[in-house]
Amino acid sequence: MQTSTGSVGPGLRGPFRDSYADCDYAALTPRKLAEVTREHGVDFATALLYDRIRHAEPHRAFIEAVDAIDPAASLPSTSARLLIAPAAFWREYPQLGADGAAVLAVARALGFSAERIPAPSTGGVTENARIIRDALAKEEDGSVILVSLSKGGADVRVALEDGGAPLRKVRAWINVCGLVHGTPLVDQFFAGPWWRRMMVRAFLARHRADFSLIRELGHAPGSPLSARAVAPDGVHVINVIACPLSEHTSGALAKRHRQLATLGPNDGSTLLTDAIVDGGVVYPVWGADHYFRTPDAPNLIRRILLHLGTAGHLPASPAA
């Protein structure tokens, strides 16, 4: 997680609050959001989705509870372990927050025992899901708070969908900007010119990454991640999604944001509706992009972890 300058919240009054008055969050399907985007542009659709999430239950109550937490508060004594499923290329690009170092710092400052799962930074979804399951198998039942970043969300999704003993270890899953349904960028890539595929192959080869790293993140029907992800039974899922306007993105991420803009609101890597595990609560972050660059990112993660403690989602310490 990096910080950046940018607005910390939109003034959602007037046109946003009054437009599409008959469209609540449930009505803003991917098809409807694509329609709104065609009529009013991707920035309008992004603000509309952000507003509707914040006013829909159970998300509204969750957001208000998290916002009410004093970040200076202490965490109740807990035996929970926090494990991070990092993003792709976390070794190569730690400056983008892919390694989860900022989350680890926040968690440890609160008193969690916290570690990064040793998933290869260039591993595919199937490979990393197996490693996550192996890591979970070593933990106590109901003891783990999983935090996934970007592609780590796809890795965790597949790991938990297999069920069994590793799933019983997980108490909560915080899915941050997760590629839990892949990304249309992969589909566009395979439909694009041959020379672009050669460039990507060269990039992967330079980092000794298998082509499955890209292929397994397909979004089209029939792709491994195309079916809707659903919160596993017994796991409290928190989806943290970034809601950037065009002005909040830059560099390569801005280009990818434009590529996805015809399909609807996106964070520069995936559609916002595709970053959500159904059945979980959603906390939308205004002005952040897929790299979760927003000034309040560390405090937000801290407040979410504190909320898990105050809401009874953490196992108590045996000594408590």
Which pLDDT band holds residue 21 (cuts at 50, 70, 90)?
confident
Which pLDDT band holds residue 209 (cuts at 50, 70, 90)?
low
Task: State yes or no: pLDDT of 188 exceeds 90.
Answer: no
The full set of domains in the chain, from first to last, is 15-182+228-310 (3.40.50.1820)
Which pLDDT band holds residue 35 (cuts at 50, 70, 90)?
very high
Task: State yes or no: pLDDT of 189 exceeds 60.
Answer: yes
Percent of the chain whose pLDDT exceeds 70: 86
The mean pLDDT of 79-106, rounded to a whole number, is 92
Q: Give the pLDDT of residue 248.
A: 95
Q: What is the spatial distance between Cα 297 and Cα 294, in angstroms, rounded to a whole number?
A: 6
20, 113, 182, 202, 262 from 36: Cα distances, Å: 9, 45, 23, 38, 10
Task: State yes or no: pLDDT of 60 exceeds 90.
Answer: yes
Q: Give the pLDDT of residue 4.
A: 36
Mean pLDDT (the chain, rounded) = 88
Q: What is the spatial distance between Cα 97 and Cα 82, in angstroms, rounded to a whole number?
A: 17
Structure tokens at 31: 């098809």
Give this prediction's pTM: 0.91
Q: Give the pLDDT of residue 3.
A: 35
The mean pLDDT of 62-78, rounded to a whole number, is 93
Task: State yes or no: pLDDT of 299 exceeds 50.
Answer: yes
User: How buried is residue 53: exposed, middle or buried, by Cβ count under 10 Å (0-12/13-18/19+)?
Assistant: buried
The mean pLDDT of 226-238, rounded to a whole number, is 96
The mean pLDDT of 134-142, rounded to a whole number, is 96
Q: What is the spatial distance between Cα 221 and Cα 177, in angstroms, rounded to a whole number?
A: 21
Which pLDDT band holds residue 193 (cuts at 50, 70, 90)?
low
Least confident range of 49-63, 91-105, 217-231, 306-320:
306-320
The mean pLDDT of 296-301, rounded to a whole number, is 93
Which pLDDT band holds residue 5 (cuts at 50, 70, 90)?
very low
Q: Give the pLDDT of residue 240.
A: 98
The mean pLDDT of 129-134, rounded to a whole number, is 97
Q: Give the pLDDT of residue 81.
A: 96
More confident of the two residues 295 and 36: 36
